Copies of this chain bind each other. A is one copy, B any other.
């Protein structure tokens, strides 16, 4: 009793995303090979292109999965917290996720569309959710900001924390040594949120 068409196709897509995810996690985005993925998923090379339009689409699917994992890690970290403690928790969770899933996390930002075009909307929305999450705790810390200014400030804070972590993850000589990141990040968020109540 063979599976239906759609079941088989969905299963193939999942096996391919699994294989790509493992490969990215182990060797990074640049080590993805269409032939390796097809072999690991147990399908012919051509079948890959019946499941995904191209390798970019497959990478996007992996990134979507990573984005969900990152989102839940952040949500868990900030759960029940507000203001400065929430921001500290988010920054710490972001750093831990980046160091625990270095290559998959890097793929989120390294990847560019092959034709140079924009990523699909649903993917950009997932990215946007990252800094949207900062708005509520930031609003507690900086109640004087207008909604527009709050949006800008959330982007700035996200980018700053991201930059600190990204440089440390990618560039051993330029970034912070691993044992200093947590403390520097904490001091940094302290500065950013200065003026707010400490607890």
| Interface positions of A (Cβ within 8 A of B) | 30, 109, 112, 118, 124, 127-128, 130-131, 152-153, 155-156, 158-164, 166-168, 170-177, 180, 184, 187-188, 191-192, 194
The interface centre, meaning the residue of A127, A160, A184 with most chain B CB atoms within 10 A of its CB, is A160
The interface centre, meaning the residue of A131, A152, A161, A174 with most chain B CB atoms within 10 A of its CB, is A174
> In angstroms, how far is the closest chain B Cβ from the Cβ of A185?
8
> With the chains together, A12 CA to B182 CA distance in Å?
48
Establish whether residues A167 and B174, one from each chain, have CB atoms under 8 Å apart when the complex forms.
Answer: no
Contact residues of A: prevailing secondary structure: helix
Residue of B166, B168, B175, B194 near A191 (CB, 8 A) is B194
Q: Which residues from B are CB-within-8-Å of A166? A: 159, 163, 166
Q: 10 A–B contact pairs at CB < 8 A?
A: A109-B170, A128-B174, A152-B176, A155-B184, A158-B167, A159-B164, A160-B164, A162-B167, A191-B191, A194-B194
Establish whether residues B124 and A156, one from each chain, have CB atoms under 8 Å apart when the complex forms.
Answer: no
Q: Which residues from B are CB-within-8-Å of A118? A: 172
Q: Which residues from B are CB-within-8-Å of A175? A: 155, 159
Q: Which residues from B are CB-within-8-Å of A155? A: 167, 174-176, 184
> In angstroms, how far is the closest chain B Cβ from the Cβ of A118?
8
> In angstroms, how far is the closest chain B Cβ from the Cβ of A125?
9
Q: Which residues from B are CB-within-8-Å of A174? A: 124, 127-128, 130-131, 155, 158-159
Q: Which residues from B are CB-within-8-Å of A127? A: 171, 173-174
> With the chains together, A131 CA to B176 CA distance in Å?
11
Besides the known contacts A127-B171, A155-B174, 18 further A-B residue pairs in the complex with CB atoms under 8 A apart: A109-B170, A124-B173, A124-B174, A128-B174, A130-B174, A156-B164, A156-B176, A156-B184, A156-B187, A158-B174, A159-B164, A159-B168, A159-B174, A160-B160, A160-B161, A160-B164, A163-B167, A194-B194
